[in-house]
Amino acid sequence: MLLKEIAHGLVHLFYPRLCEGCNTPLSASEDILCVGCYLQLARTEYHTIAENETAMRFAGRVPFSYATSFAYFTNEGLLQHLLHGLKYANKKQIGIYLGRQLAHDLQQVNWVSEIDAIIPVPLHHKKEAIRGYNQSELIAEGISSILNIPVVSKALLRKRHTDSQTKKSRGERLENMKDAFEVGSSYLLKNKHILLIDDVLTTGATLESAALAILSVPGVKVSIATIGIA
């Protein structure tokens, strides 16, 4: 044990882990962000507010049970920087980290005990092949590691490739995502309460389409959680 600690200390001395926010060396107890940068994350505290903005965006569109987002997503903000690294710089550990932070918030609400399985919003297989991974699945794995709720990543499939949503209006996004998902293994979901996970909520078109596909399974309930809300 002592030799292992010495070896770890030497590695940290010569190859220090750096904060993804400010690029300063992290302490042994810190991960991804230093304490100072973590405190700069604009957390929503939506998990403590039933009628929060995330929930209101889905009201009347999807018969969901609960909805929340971990932090506010702003242009040039810290969360945007983290998610950019996760999606485009192969920094997979950021996804695990953010999922764990969201899970710590969810531990504070009673309804999380109702969740039977976690489903990340899937990428189309061609897009996932290019990126090499699904960022939402990494977030889901981070949540699962804290809450001990299984991730069922293959139950929901993206059946067609969709155009980028970035420059589309709300109406165009809804049309673009219409019938984009299908359930591949309904027996895995029947009569279960599913927590649907994505990285960022904007108009909610993607999550709405995914949730409606899941809700086609008999007896299913859906709750929604995202890391960011724009």
pLDDT digits (tens, 9 = 90+) for 27-42: 999 999 999 999 999 9
Element (H, E) at 119: strand 117-120
Residue 120 contacts residue 75 (beta carbons within 8 Å)? no
pLDDT of residue 124: 87
Contacts of 127 (CB under 8 A, 6+ apart): 161
Coil, strand or helix at 150? coil
pTM: 0.88
Q: Residue 47: name the closest of 20, 30, 66, 27 by CA.
A: 66
Phi, psi of 4 (to 5 degrees): -65, -40
- Pick the closest to residue 58 from 219, 202, 230 (CA basis): 202
Domain segments of the chain as ranges: 1-40, 42-229
Rounded Cα gap, residues 167 and 34, in angstroms:
34
Please state which CATH number belongs to domain 42-229.
Answer: 3.40.50.2020
CA 144, CA 140: separation in Å to the nearest integer? 6
At 185 the pLDDT is 86
- What distance in Å separates the CA atoms of residue 92 and residue 86, rounded to the nearest whole number? 6
Q: Which residues of the chain have pLDDT under 70?
A: 1-15, 161-176
With a CB cutoff of 8 Å and minimum separation 6, the contacts of 216 are: 183
Q: How far apart are CA 8 and CA 12, in angstroms?
A: 6
